[in-house]
C-alpha cells in the first residue's frame, strides 16, 4: 500500500471565485455574440476586484452587475470596488484564429484522462471530493453557520494499480462562524462518511480546520486569481496537466477546447478498448488548425491514432461537436471542469 493525496477547493475559495467571475463574463459575451474572442483574467483581494485581459466582441454587457451577481450567489456579502481593465484581443493573434482561418488560439499541450474507478470515469477520490464540494455549496445556502470559503483533501491508501482502498486522513478546512463548531464539524464528518460509505471506503481519521479556527476567509483572508487551480479543475494530479488554465477563455483557445476534447477521446477509448485507464495528449501551434500530435496512452500501452482523429481535433470541429458556444462555462468553473 502507498499513500497519495488529492485536493479540491470549494466554490467560495478566492481563486475559484475569480474563475467563476471570468467564466460568467465569458458566458455573457458569448450569449450576445458567438464570435466573441475572450481571455478574461480576474484578481480579487482586500475590497477590490480587478478585471483585465482581452475581449473582442460586439456584445455590450454590464460587467459590474454580472460580478455582483456571482459574488452574491457564492455567498460573498460585502461590496467590492470593481476595476475594469479589459482591452482588445491582439490583432496578431486574430490573424490566425478568426472564423475564416479557424486556427488554434494558442500553442501548447492539453491532456484528457478517464479511468474505470467510477461511473463518471474519474478517480474515486476525485469524485468523493467533488460530491462533498457540491453538497457544501448547497448546505451553506440553508445553514447560516457555514461560510463560503474552504477546501478539502484526501490522503488515501492505494494498491499497486492506484485504486483507493481506504482513507487515512480526510482533511477539511472550512470557513464558519466559529460559534457552532460542534454542530458544523459533525455536519461535515457525517457527509464525508455518507459519501464514502457508498463506495465502501473507510475513513481512519478526520482533520477538521487543523489550525483550530477559520472565520476570516474569502477576499478578506486571501487574494484570488483566475487559473490558479488548474490541478483541481482537471484530475487532481491523478493525470498530467498541460499547464494552461480554462476559465475566461473562449473555445477558440485550445487550452480549454483541446482539454475538453482530450477528455472525450479518453472516455471513448476507455470503453472501446476495455481499458482500466486512458490518457490523451493533444498539442497545437497557434494559428494552425490540426493538432501537431495526438498521443494516446493506456494500461495496455500506446494506442495507434487514426488520421481522422486529427481532423476531429481542429478547433472548429471541437467547438461544433461539443457545442462549446452554447454551454455554461460558469457552471464548469464551480466544482471542476470534469465531473462526468
Q: Which of 13, 37, 236, 337 is catalytic?
A: 13
Same domain assignment for residues 266 and 300: yes
Q: Which of 10, 214, 238, 246 is catalytic?
A: 214
Cβ atoms of 189 and 152 closer than 8 Å: no
Q: Which of 37, 131, 236, 249 is catalytic?
A: 249
Same domain assignment for residues 281 and 322: yes
For this structure, is 185 an active site residue? no
Among the candidates 165, 200, 218, a domain finishes at 218
For this structure, is 2 an active site residue? no
Which pLDDT belongs to residue 277?
Answer: 98
Same domain assignment for residues 198 and 264: no
Examine the pLDDT at 232 and tell me if it is beyond 80: yes
3-state secondary structure the chain: CEEEEEEEECCCCHHHHHHHHHHHHHHHHHHHCCCCEEEEEEEEECCEEEEEEEEECCCCCCHHHHHHHHHHHHCCCCCCEEEEEEECCCHHHHHHHCCCCCCCCCCEEEEEEEECCCCCCCCHHHHHHHHHHHHHHHHHCCCCCEEEEEEEEEEEEECCCCCEEEEEEEEEEEEECCCCHHHHHHHHHHHHHHHHHCCCCCEEEEEECCCCCCCCCHHHHCCEECCCCHHHHCCCCCCCCCCCCCCCECCCCHHHHHHHHHHHHHHHHHHHCCCCEEEEEEEECCCCCCCCEEEEEECCCCECCCCHHHHHCCHHHHHHHCCCCCCCHHHHHHHCCCCC
Cell 490522503 locates to: 155
Q: Which of 178, 222, 264, 312 is catalytic?
A: 222
Same domain assignment for residues 191 and 211: yes
For this structure, is 34 an active site residue? no
For this structure, is 189 an active site residue? no
* pLDDT tens string 74-124: 999 889 999 999 987 665 555 445 555 567 877 899 999 999 999 999 999
Q: Which of 11, 37, 131, 229 is catalytic?
A: 229
The CB density around residue 262, as the number of other CB atoms within 10 Å, is: 29
Among the candidates 169, 198, 218, a domain finishes at 218
This prediction has a pTM of 0.95
Whether 212 is covered by a domain: the verdict is yes
In Å, what is the CA distance from 178 to each residue of 144, 196, 200, 222? Answer: 11, 26, 32, 18
Examine the pLDDT at 228 and tell me if it is beyond 60: yes
For this structure, is 229 an active site residue? yes
* pLDDT tens string 240-283: 999 899 999 999 999 999 999 999 999 999 999 999 999 999 99
Which pLDDT belongs to residue 103?
Answer: 75
* pLDDT tens string 35-62: 999 999 999 999 999 999 999 999 999 9
Which pLDDT belongs to residue 243?
Answer: 83
For this structure, is 222 an active site residue? yes
Task: Give the residue-averaged pLDDT of 304-329.
Answer: 96
Q: Which residue from 118, 112, 24 is spatially nearest to 72, judged by alpha carbons?
A: 24
Whether 324 is covered by a domain: the verdict is yes
For this structure, is 194 an active site residue? no
For this structure, is 337 an active site residue? no
Whether 238 is covered by a domain: the verdict is no
CA atoms within 13 A on the CB side of 155: 9
Whether 260 is covered by a domain: the verdict is yes
Same domain assignment for residues 84 and 147: no
Same domain assignment for residues 113 and 171: no
Whether 54 is covered by a domain: the verdict is yes
Which pLDDT belongs to residue 93?
Answer: 55
Which pLDDT belongs to residue 94?
Answer: 53
Q: Which of 54, 73, 178, 264 is catalytic?
A: 54
Same domain assignment for residues 20 and 57: yes
Task: Give the residue-averaged pLDDT of 291-316.
Answer: 95
Same domain assignment for residues 134 and 212: yes
Specify whether the backbone of 177 is left (phi greater than 0), alpha (psi in -120 to 50) or beta.
alpha
Same domain assignment for residues 204 and 139: yes
Q: What is the largest CA-CA distance in the chain?
A: 62
Same domain assignment for residues 85 and 36: yes
Whether 243 is covered by a domain: the verdict is no
Which pLDDT belongs to residue 89?
Answer: 66
Same domain assignment for residues 112 and 138: no
Whether 156 is covered by a domain: the verdict is yes
What is the residue-averaged pLDDT of the chain?
Answer: 95
Q: Which domain holds residue 53?
A: 16-97
Whether 233 is covered by a domain: the verdict is no
Q: Which of 11, 37, 131, 228 is catalytic?
A: 228
- Number of domain units in the chain: 3
Which pLDDT belongs to residue 98?
Answer: 58
Return the CATH number at 265: 3.30.300.10
* pLDDT tens string 140-166: 999 999 999 999 999 999 999 999 999
Weakest mean pLDDT among 90-104, 131-145, 313-327: 90-104
Q: Which residue from 64, 61, 42 is spatially nearest to 53, judged by alpha carbons?
A: 42
For this structure, is 41 an active site residue? yes
Among the candidates 197, 218, 239, a domain finishes at 218
Same domain assignment for residues 112 and 128: no
Amino acid at each position: 500500500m502507498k499513500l497519495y493525496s488529492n485536493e479540491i477547493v470549494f466554490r467560495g475559495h478566492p481563486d475559484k471565485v475569480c474563475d467563476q467571475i471570468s467564466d460568467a463574463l465569458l458566458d455573457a459575451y458569448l450569449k450576445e455574440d458567438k464570435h466573441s474572442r475572450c481571455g478574461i483574467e480576474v484578481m480579487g483581494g482586500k475590497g477590490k476586484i480587478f478585471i483585465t485581459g482581452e475581449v473582442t466582441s460586439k456584445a455590450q454587457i454590464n460587467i459590474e452587475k454580472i460580478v455582483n451577481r456571482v459574488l452574491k450567489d457564492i455567498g460573498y456579502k460585502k461590496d467590492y470596488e470593481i476595476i475594469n481593465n479589459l482591452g482588445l484581443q491582439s490583432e496578431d493573434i486574430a490573424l490566425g484564429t478568426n472564423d475564416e482561418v479557424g486556427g488554434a488560439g494558442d500553442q501548447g499541450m492539453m491532456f484528457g484522462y478517464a479511468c474505470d474507478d467510477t461511473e463518471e470515469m474519474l478517480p474515486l477520490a476525485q469524485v468523493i471530493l467533488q460530491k462533498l464540494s457540491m453538497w457544501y455549496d448547497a448546505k451553506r445556502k440553508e445553514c447560516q453557520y457555514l461560510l463560503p470559503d474552504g477546501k478539502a483533501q484526501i490522503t488515501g491508501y492505494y494498491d499497486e494499480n492506484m485504486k483507493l482502498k481506504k482513507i487515512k486522513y480526510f482533511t477539511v478546512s472550512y470557513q464558519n462562524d466559529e460559534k457552532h463548531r460542534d454542530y458544523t464539524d459533525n455536519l461535515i464528518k457525517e457527509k464525508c462518511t455518507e459519501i464514502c460509505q457508498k463506495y465502501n471506503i473507510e475513513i481512519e481519521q478526520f482533520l477538521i480546520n487543523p489550525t483550530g479556527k477559520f472565520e476570516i476567509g474569502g477576499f478578506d483572508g486571501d487574494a484570488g486569481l483566475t487559473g490558479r487551480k488548474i490541478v483541481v479543475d482537471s484530475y487532481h494530479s491523478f493525470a498530467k496537466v498541460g499547464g494552461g488554465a480554462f476559465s475566461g477563455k473562449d473555445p477558440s483557445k485550445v487550452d480549454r477546447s483541446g482539454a475538453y476534447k482530450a477528455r472525450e477521446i479518453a472516455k471513448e477509448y476507455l470503453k472501446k478498448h476495455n481499458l482500466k485507464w486512458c490518457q490523451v495528449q493533444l498539442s497545437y501551434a497557434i494559428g494552425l488548425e490540426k493538432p501537431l500530435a495526438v498521443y494516446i496512452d493506456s494500461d495496455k500501452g500506446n494506442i495507434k491514432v487514426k488520421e481522422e482523429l486529427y481532423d476531429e481535433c481542429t478547433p472548429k470541429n471541437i467547438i461544433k461537436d461539443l457545442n462549446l458556444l452554447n454551454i455554461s462555462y460558469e457552471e464548469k468553473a464551480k466544482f471542476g471542469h470534469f465531473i462526468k
